Amino acid sequence: MNDYYLYKITSYPAGQNHRHTFFTPDTSYSPQTTGSSIDDFFQSKLKRTKSRIEALVEAIESRRLIREQNLYGIEQDLSRCQNLLFDLGYRIYRRDRQWKDLETRKLDLFREKRLEESGYFRDITFLGKELRDTMNYYQTLFDKQRVFEMGSTEA
């Protein structure tokens, strides 16, 4: 082992000799003696993983609500545009600038609706993948904890 790792380096003002002092670890630390530290380790990891799963489920649900609100707003705007087109009455056949603006607005709203749907799919796909990976990790931790518990009872 390189002696470099046994010394702590301190900076000295310019002009003073640089000296290494032997590093002594903190002796006040004592490992936990009550309970099984491996059980505590697995319990804390399981708890963190479970909270991550809950956060992902909540994120999926909130994204679904955002999608519903956005689509509802888009549908309302589409209905308003269509009502304005109906209000034009016979003037709708003239295909003038007002008609063109309303039809363009409808096309923009349909495009916005498609973008919202694809954005929702992309977000949910990513969150679903994260959720599946986290659930697999949780199950792996749970299985490892059971194996360690069985091993400690047999000994």
Whether this prediction's pTM lies above 0.75 is answered by: no
Q: What is the pLDDT of residues 68-123, one digit of tens each?
A: 999 999 999 999 999 999 898 887 778 888 889 999 999 999 999 999 999 999 99
CA torsion through residues 36, 41, 42, 48, sign: positive
pLDDT, tens only, 19-29: 444 444 455 54
Domain ranges of the chain: 36-154
Residue 135, CA distances (Å) to 40, 129, 140 in order = 20, 10, 9
